Amino acid sequence: MIQLYQPLSFMGLVYREIKQSAIDLEMMFDILNKNPEIEDRPGAAPLALTDTALRFENVFFHYDPRREILRGVSFEVPAGKTVALVGASGAGKSTISRLIFRFYEPSSGRITIGGQDIAGVTQASLRAAIGIVPQDTVLFNDSIAYNIFYGRDGASEDEMKAAARLAQIDHFIESAPGGYEAQVGERGLKLSGGEKQRVAIARAILKGPPILILDEATSALDSLTEREIQTALDRVARGRTTLVIAHRLSTIVNADEILVLDKGRIIERGSHAALLAQGGAYAAMWSRQNEIMQAEETLRRAALEE
């Protein structure tokens, strides 16, 4: 009875934890230790990290066979470079990041890292090589320190604090009652979306992965927070193979390449300047976002003058 009871209560705990904080995917699969649908192949080898270039080769994918989500997606993020993915809501951007983590497998085509098909490497080595800063970070109901240490078990206190500093969240933490030991969550410290994202950035910095996926928050942040987050993201991306899923085009003007995804297909690709000159979908998105930003600015000014 005891034997049966213990695992059940452990699962209960995990379930509660997931439910309470709707933990992001990376954590959830870490805790449960596997995605039930994806297994390591027999003889799977660890991912070798001599080359970290990430490639999609004619990838098709559907969740439901009646509806294709990705239709022949091909692109490369050269080692150490930053590629940005933009496109309307539902275009398939987050699906691409889930495939890189191998939460799902392409229905056809290949995803490779340094030429190795990720379907043939161990999931543990794949996930160890990739850091993700998710769109909506949900933290463990534990101390802030614990939430950052989650990036790399066994890191030193100094390393953890250095990561917080680089992520520009150190001042906030130090001014909170209890500092790094302050509890996060319902009955503890409540963090704003921007603060939570900076904790996620600190975690990614501590993990120090060669490959990084940044899923930009959709929610509007004030311009100071946005600048701070941008600086922190630029720091964490430097020298890493980085895929940015972007919602605000202003954050990706310096990306090495921008991919425009529409209904599961890449319809345009190039640098910011080249895409603007092309006058297509990206250029239209850019002018629309600028109009919205200008309208918001006018409203803000009017509110200040009242």
Closest CB to ligand ATP among 37 and 186? 37
Count of alpha carbons within 13 Å of 153, Cβ hemisphere only?
2
Torsions phi, psi of 141, nearest 5?
-75, 75
Stretch that binds ligand ATP, among 19-27, 33-41, 63-71, 182-190 (CB under 6 A): 63-71
Q: Which two tokens stand for residue 110?
A: 């290949």
Taking CB under 6 A as the rule, does residue 91 contact ligand ATP?
A: yes
Q: How far apart are CA 23 and CA 17, in angstroms?
A: 8
The closest alpha carbon to 243, from 59, 113, 110, 109, belongs to 113
Q: How far is the CB of 87 from ligand ATP (least distance, A)?
A: 6
Calculate Rg over the CA atoms of the chain. 20
Taking CB under 6 A as the rule, does residue 92 contact ligand ATP?
A: yes
For residue 289, what are the contacts with CB-CB under 8 A and spacing of at least 6? 248, 249, 250
Closest CB to ligand ATP among 144 and 261? 261
Exposed, middle or buried by CB within 10 Å (0-12, 13-18, 19+), for 299?
exposed
Q: How far is the CB of 252 from ligand ATP (least distance, A)?
A: 14
Taking CB under 6 A as the rule, does residue 63 contact ligand ATP?
A: yes
Q: How far is the CB of 242 from ligand ATP (least distance, A)?
A: 17
The answer to whether 217 touches 136, Cβ cutoff 8 Å, is yes
Taking CB under 6 A as the rule, does residue 69 contact ligand ATP?
A: yes
Stretch that binds ligand ATP, among 84-92, 141-149, 179-187, 265-273 (CB under 6 A): 84-92
Could you give the C-alpha distances from 44 to 72, 97, 118, in angstroms and in order? Answer: 26, 21, 10
Q: How far is the CB of 92 from ligand ATP (least distance, A)?
A: 4
Taking CB under 6 A as the rule, does residue 90 contact ligand ATP?
A: yes
Instruction: Annotate each residue in 12-31 with x if it binds ligand ATP (CB under 6 A) or - if it does not, as one string.
Output: --------------------
Q: How far is the CB of 293 from ligand ATP (least distance, A)?
A: 19
The answer to whether 126 touches 118, Cβ cutoff 8 Å, is yes
Packing angle of the helix pair 157-166, 193-207 (nearest 10 deg): 130
Residue choice 94, 122, 125, 289 for contact with ligand ATP (CB under 6 A): 94
- Tell me, by CB under 6 A, how many residues bind ligand ATP: 11
> At which residue do the structure tokens 């000159």 appear?
277
Residue choice 3, 33, 89, 175 for contact with ligand ATP (CB under 6 A): 89
Q: How far is the CB of 174 from ligand ATP (least distance, A)?
A: 33
Closest CB to ligand ATP among 93 and 127? 93
Q: How far is the CB of 64 from ligand ATP (least distance, A)?
A: 6
For residue 122, what are the contacts with CB-CB under 8 A and spacing of at least 6? 40, 44, 45, 46, 47
Taking CB under 6 A as the rule, does residue 95 contact ligand ATP?
A: yes
Interface with ligand ATP by CB under 6 A: which residues?
63-64, 69, 87, 89-95
